[in-house]
Amino acid sequence: MPLYFSSPVSAVAGVGPAKAAALKTLGINSVYDLLHHFPRAYQNRKDVKTLCEAALSGEKCALVLSVGSTPQTALLKNRKTLTKFTVFDESGSCTVTFFNQGYLKSVFNVGDVFRFFGKVERFRSTWQLSSPDYEPLGGVRPLCDFYPIYPLTSGISQKVMQNIIGTALAALDGVPLDPIPEKIRNRANICSYAEALYSIHRPKNIESLAKAREYFMFEELFLFSAEIVRSKQNISTKEALPLSVTRADMKRFFETIPFKLTAAQTRVITEISADLKKSVPMHRLIQGDVGSGKTICAASAAYICIKSGFQCAIMAPTEILARQHYSDLCALFEKLEIKCQLLVGSMSAAKKREAHEKCASGEAQLIIGTHALIAEGVRFCNPGLFITDEQHRFGIAQRSALSDKKSEMTHFVPHTLAMTATPIPRTLALVLLSDIDISIIDELPPGRKKVSTFLVDESYRTRLEGFICKQCSEGKQVYIVCPAIENSGDEEEDCDLMSLDGSVISRKEELKLKSVFDCYTDFTARFPEIKFAYLHGKMSGREKDKIMSDFAAGKISVLISTTVIEVGVNVPNSTLMVIENAERFGLSQLHQLRGRVGRGEAKSWCILISDSEKEEVKQRLDAFCKTNDGFEIARADLALRGPGDFFAALGRERQHGKLSFRFASLCDNNDMLSLAFAEATALIEDDPSLEKKENECLRDALSQLSENNLA
């Protein structure tokens, strides 16, 4: 039965309800999702060792061996069956064993040659190869030199994932046309989409894998460029209403603020005020370090908008952050006789209906919420300004959807303002956010305490645990951040791997990874008197918000989490941030995590734990410990580690339908980016609506991105 990209994953032979449910946890619902679930690494099976070499190495490796005896199956006492036979090469012989696979008697015939992949170990007086992978040498298809290793979930093993993807590739009824037109592919000297898709899953050799990587690098940069060009094209044709207030009104606003603004905040507010006076829509990003006071700058813009007679909406990436903004801003705006309204997904149907009515009637002047603001049915009466917090968490499509929530009675569009605490060097930001003007708050408010930062190794574990207990006994709260949710326990990975870029991933380093679940289980067993909780990205939004609310309320003493807390709530009582396997994070991301503590009056600490012996890692983490300047850290991160992890801090983690970078880098691939941007610009100038036949697939790809960004 032929398969199509749109077919449900359950249409793939061998995928029943249980496997389909397991795949769904990986975000795999369709055949498209399945075939875009790319390997995270590859086993190198090209490097074949002799039996003697394999026995001496003690590691998993590839061996080409001949079958020397007929397989025999015996019934064991525990009702299991054991099938075994001998194999040999020029250096010696050993026994191969399989449990509960009696059917293999018909697979292995004396004289047949197979490539095995496994570990040769001593068992009693003989060498043994237990339950290895095997592939017939000289079969119909040439053997793959690089064996794909996929991200997994419970219930899906490597073998199962490889078989499912192999079945889908074989049954796919053609690959849809390429989103990159052929003439552009030729100029970029890249292969076709179909070739790249097959090669990423089943590379014939290192060259075919490199070609596939190059295609997907260019595709990411090309779609990224096309989205930016189209966004700028839309902006340039629109008109906004000028917004301004009297000096007396602004004086009242500044007098209501319970603190004195810094010079940097005053400068940014001046830049925003100048933009709002224009009839061209403002598209400005406030970029400031953690704790620099971005929110009050955004509040001043909201005040100008509302005093000009229009509504303002603020969209936050999480419900808990939206509620925090609502609480903080209500306290300010109620004194200024401005009506605020909250709109989040967890509100009851009746409360949502009431909020919708107030938004549509204009009764609500400042509306603060989450993605619920762009839900179907939400309409504003006379919006003048839309603000997004943590701008990089929202795609262009989501920001556009918010802007579209205007009255159909006017052709004017709202001004837009965004905020981010992720430090982006200006030159890089101009590339990444070329459709936006940038205001930088490069000064922290007086009294902001420095977080003392230290780098330690495992030898400090006991002392660190004692320090955690001491903080909790004093009524303080602690974050512990781990790089993984859970350890895969996948035996297929019992060897060094090759990453997508050809670098080696050490199995020894992989085994040292701390996971949220392991950490939580260990701590709760040994310290039952302390209230622990865990948090990770695969939990539902409601679950995450509940945990963060409880932590903010002091009901949880220690929160063990992935980096999902890097954009979180203000918890002044948290005084200690512990980051496991710190070498796994970019410096910009470490800085975001460190920003979760040091928000109150008490002294705060950030402890990095790393056993890495690599000199460049030590250099990078030492640089982080020496400064609290986010912009200096961003520059160091780019110089010392490159942009890959820098973009991880910008939500780089690959998700289907989200325009993010898994293969490409805006810094390392400058030439490719320049070509992609030039090609996208020329194409869209020639065909602004992408109506030409040759651009249909590009239009569909961009539409798909928009739909999934809004999902």
Residue 685 counted as domain residue: no
- Mean pLDDT of the chain, nearest integer: 84
Confidence at 709, pLDDT banded by 50, 70, 90: very low
Pick 221 or 465 by higher pLDDT. Answer: 465
- What per-residue confidence (pLDDT) applies to 400? 58
Give the CA distances from residue 17 to residues 20, 116, 367, 629, in Å, rounded to whole numbers and listed in that order: 5, 32, 43, 51
DSSP H or E run through 699: helix 696-710
Residue 199 counted as domain residue: no
Give the CA distances from residue 278 to residues 242, 283, 405, 407, in Å, rounded to whole numbers and listed in that order: 5, 12, 21, 20
Query: Which whole number is the average pLDDT over 535-544?
Result: 83
Give Dmax (Cα) for the chain. Answer: 96
**Domain shared by 30 and 77, yes or no:** no
Mean pLDDT is highest, among 351-360, 408-417, 484-493, for 351-360
Query: Which whole number is the average pLDDT over 5-20?
Result: 93
CATH of the domain at 579: 3.40.50.300
User: pLDDT exceeding 90 applies to what percent of the chain?
Assistant: 47
Q: Which residues pair with 387 in a beta bridge?
A: 314, 417
pLDDT digits (tens, 9 = 90+) for 559-568: 999 988 866 6
DSSP codes of every residue in 317-331: SSHHHHHHHHHHHHH
Q: Among 386, 414, 441, which residue terminates a domain? A: 441
**Domain shared by 562 and 520, yes or no:** yes
Query: Which whole number is the average pLDDT over 360-374?
Result: 92
Residue 323 counted as domain residue: yes
Lowest-confidence range among 87-96, 212-221, 286-295, 527-536? 286-295
**Domain shared by 156 and 90, yes or no:** no
Confidence at 399, pLDDT banded by 50, 70, 90: low
Lowest-confidence range among 351-355, 410-414, 588-592? 410-414
Confidence at 508, pLDDT banded by 50, 70, 90: low
Is pLDDT above 60 for 409? no
CB 496 within 8 A of CB 200: no
CB 443 within 8 A of CB 412: no
Residue 179, SS3 per DSSP: coil
pLDDT digits (tens, 9 = 90+) for 316-340: 888 888 888 998 899 999 999 999 9
Pick 391 or 160 by higher pLDDT. Answer: 160
Alpha helices of 610-695 — where are they, by DSSP H? 615-626, 630-640, 644-648, 670-686
Q: Are strands 452-456 and 605-609 parallel, antiparallel or unpaired?
A: parallel
Lowest-confidence range among 34-43, 89-98, 280-289? 280-289
SS3 content of the chain, % helix, strand, coil (to 5): 40, 20, 40
Tracing tokens 């509040």 back to the chain, one arrives at: 299
DSSP H or E run through 541: helix 541-552
Lowest-confidence range among 225-229, 324-328, 604-608, 638-642? 638-642
Confidence at 434, pLDDT banded by 50, 70, 90: low
Residue 545, SS3 per DSSP: helix
Confidence at 225, pLDDT banded by 50, 70, 90: confident
Residue 579 counted as domain residue: yes
Query: Which whole number is the average pLDDT over 637-646?
Result: 50
Query: Which whole number is the average pLDDT over 285-306?
Result: 90
Distance (Å, whole) CA 544 – CA 540:
6
CA 134 to chain centre: 35
**Domain shared by 3 and 73, yes or no:** no
Q: Among 143, 176, 202, which residue terminates a domain? A: 143
Lowest-confidence range among 107-121, 178-192, 344-358, 407-421? 407-421
**Domain shared by 160 and 243, yes or no:** no
CATH of the domain at 124: 2.40.50.140
Query: Which whole number is the average pLDDT over 51-58?
Result: 90
Query: Which whole number is the average pLDDT over 73-87?
Result: 90
**Domain shared by 508 and 390, yes or no:** no
**Domain shared by 392 and 245, yes or no:** yes
341 token code pair:
């309204």
Distance (Å, whole) CA 42 – CA 36:
16
List all residues 6 or more positions away from 501 whose beta carbon is below 8 Å from its beta carbon.
213
- What per-residue confidence (pLDDT) applies to 425? 54
- What per-residue confidence (pLDDT) applies to 564? 82
Distance (Å, whole) CA 645 – CA 635:
13
Q: Which residues pair with 287 in a beta bridge?
A: 420, 440
Is pLDDT above 50 for 651? no
Is pLDDT above 80 for 284? yes
Distance (Å, whole) CA 611 – CA 615:
11
CB 217 within 8 A of CB 284: no
Residue 193 counted as domain residue: no
665 token code pair:
């880098």
Query: Which whole number is the average pLDDT over 682-701?
Result: 89
Pick 690 or 229 by higher pLDDT. Answer: 690
CATH of the domain at 17: 1.10.150.20
Q: How far apart are the first and last CA of the chain?
A: 30
One-letter amino acid at 550 equals: D
In the DSSP assignment, the letter for residue 355 is H
Confidence at 395, pLDDT banded by 50, 70, 90: very low
Is pLDDT above 70 for 1? no
**Domain shared by 487 and 621, yes or no:** yes
Q: What are phi and psi of 120, to 5 degrees?
A: -85, 120
Query: Which whole number is the average pLDDT over 488-496?
Result: 56
Distance (Å, whole) CA 380 – CA 361:
7
Is pLDDT above 70 for 553? yes
Pick 455 or 666 by higher pLDDT. Answer: 455
94 token code pair:
């050993």
Per-residue H/E/C for 403-441: HCCCCCCCCCCCEEEEEECCCCCHHHHHHHCCCCEEEEE
**Domain shared by 257 and 334, yes or no:** yes
Is pLDDT above 50 for 427? no
Q: Among 441, 460, 488, which residue terminates a domain? A: 441
Taking alpha carbons only, the member of 274, 233, 355 closest to residue 690 is: 233
- What per-residue confidence (pLDDT) applies to 635? 66
Q: Are strands 477-481 and 558-561 parallel, antiparallel or unpaired?
A: parallel
Query: Which whole number is the average pLDDT over 409-432?
Result: 67
pLDDT digits (tens, 9 = 90+) for 15-35: 999 999 999 999 899 998 999
- What per-residue confidence (pLDDT) applies to 711? 42
DSSP codes of every residue in 491-521: GGGSS-EEETTS-EE-HHHHHT--BHHHHHH
Reported as half-sphere exposure (CB side, CA atoms, 13 A), residue 139 has a value of 12
**Domain shared by 161 and 105, yes or no:** no
Q: Count CB neighbours of 394 within 10 A.
A: 22
Query: Which whole number is the average pLDDT over 521-550?
Result: 89
Domain that holds residue 6: 1-45+147-168
CB 413 within 8 A of CB 238: yes
**Domain shared by 470 and 489, yes or no:** yes
Pick 511 or 523 by higher pLDDT. Answer: 523
Q: Which residues pair with 147 in a beta bridge?
A: 43
Give the CA distances from residue 700 to residues 25, 389, 561, 695, in Å, rounded to whole numbers and listed in that order: 26, 29, 37, 9
Query: Which whole number is the average pLDDT over 610-628?
Result: 86
Is pLDDT above 60 for 646? no
CB 284 within 8 A of CB 275: yes
Taking alpha carbons only, the member of 372, 402, 370 closest to residue 384 is: 402
Residue 232 counted as domain residue: no
Query: Which whole number is the average pLDDT over 441-465?
Result: 87
Mean pLDDT is highest, among 54-58, 266-270, 319-323, for 266-270
- Number of folded domains that form the chain: 4
Is pLDDT above 60 for 432? no
CB 679 within 8 A of CB 188: yes
Residue 616 counted as domain residue: yes
pLDDT digits (tens, 9 = 90+) for 121-176: 998 888 999 999 898 987 666 778 888 999 998 889 888 998 999 999 988 877 77
- What per-residue confidence (pLDDT) applies to 654? 33
Pick 492 or 190 by higher pLDDT. Answer: 190
**Domain shared by 569 and 437, yes or no:** no
Q: What is the CA radius of gyration of the chain?
A: 29
Q: Are strands 81-89 and 61-67 parallel, antiparallel or unpaired?
A: antiparallel
Per-residue H/E/C for 273-294: HHHHCCCCCCEEEEEECCCCCH
- What per-residue confidence (pLDDT) applies to 528? 94
Is pLDDT above 50 for 536? yes
CB 515 within 8 A of CB 485: yes
